[in-house]
Amino acid sequence: MYKQKEKTVKLHLVDTTAPQVKFQDITRYIGYEINGEDFIIEKSDLSQMYVEVTNVPEITEFKNYTVTIIVKDEYGNTTSKDCNLTIDWLNYNVTLELGKLLTKEDILMRPEEDAKLISKSELERINKSSVGNYTMTLTNNGKEYIINIKIQDTTAPELELKDVNIYDDEKVDKSKFIVSTKDASGKVETTLLTEIDYKKIGTQVVTIEAKDETRK
C-alpha cells in the first residue's frame, strides 16, 4: 500500500526584466519642449511602461545637449540612455519617399522665419528628381550650408484586380484581371505568376505581381 502526502506551496512570480528600448538622437528647434517619447523609436515590456527625462537642459542656443531618457516598468525595472538633442535651424539630412513633395518644413526648423532662404526653383528641382542622392546649398549671413537629400522608393505599386469568368473553350491573359496599376515611378511591370489549367472546370486562384522600375 502506497502512502501519499500533499502539501500546498505558494508561487511568487516576479518581474526583474528591464524594458527593451531602441533610442534615438533627435534634432529640434529653439523653443522645443522636451518630450521623452521623441527619443524612443520603439519600446516593449510585459507590463505598463513610463518614460522619464532627467538632466533636462535650458534650451537657449543652437548647440548639442545631452538628455537622459529613462523607461521604467511598473515593477521598477529601468532602461536608460543619454541621448543627443541637437538644437539647430536646419535639417542637414532629409530622406524623402518618391512621390512625396519636399517642403521648406522638411528642411527648416523655423520655416516661418527662414522661408526666404530656400527658393521655389530649388524645391521644384528636387521634386522633379527620381530616386537618388542630391544636395541643396543654402546661404545664410554669408555662410553656405549643404543639405543632403535622399529620395528613396520603398512603396510597392498599387494593383487593383478583378475576378474573371471564361468558358472552357476560352483562354485569358493577365490584362483581363487588371483594373489598374499605379506607382510614383510612373512605370509598373506586371507578371502572371500562376499557370492556368484550362482543362480544369471550376474556380482557380490566380496570382499577379506588380513591380515598379526601382525594384527590378
How big is the CA angle at 40 (ends 154 and 113), to the nearest 5 degrees?
80
pLDDT at 1: 60
Residue 3 lies in a domain: no
Are both 118 and 79 inside the same structural domain? no
pLDDT at 11: 82
Helix (H) or strand (E) segment spanning residue 35: none
pLDDT at 40: 97
70's grid cell: 529613462
Residue 13 lies in a domain: no
Residue 4 lies in a domain: no
pLDDT at 101: 95
Are both 164 and 183 inside the same structural domain? yes
pLDDT at 34: 93
For the chain, how many structural domains are there in total?
3
Are both 33 and 72 inside the same structural domain? yes
Q: Where residue 75 sits, what CATH number does that domain have?
A: 2.60.40.10
Are both 82 and 25 inside the same structural domain? yes
pLDDT at 211: 93
Give me the sheet containing 26-28, strands edge to edge: 26-28, 78-87, 64-73, 49-54
- The rounded Cα 68 to chain-centroid distance in angstroms is 24
Q: Cα dist. 86→59, 64, 108, 207 in Å?
A: 10, 4, 14, 49
pLDDT at 27: 87
Distance CA 93, CA 149 (A): 6
Half-sphere exposure of 76 (CA within 13 A, CB side): 2
34 contact partners, CB below 8 Å, separation of at least 6: 53, 56, 59, 67, 85
Domain stops at, among 33, 58, 87: 87
Are both 140 and 176 inside the same structural domain? no
> Along the chain (216 residues), what's the average pLDDT of each consecutive run of 10 residues?
76 88 91 92 95 92 93 95 92 92 91 89 94 93 92 93 90 92 91 91 93 72
The model's pTM is 0.64
4 contact partners, CB below 8 Å, separation of at least 6: none
Distance CA 48, CA 73 (A): 6
The per-residue pLDDT for range 79-126, each reduced to its tens digit, is: 999 999 999 888 889 999 999 999 999 999 888 888 899 999 999 999
Are both 106 and 148 inside the same structural domain? yes
The domain containing residue 45 runs over which residues?
Answer: 20-87
Residue 1 lies in a domain: no
DSSP 8-class letter at 36:
G
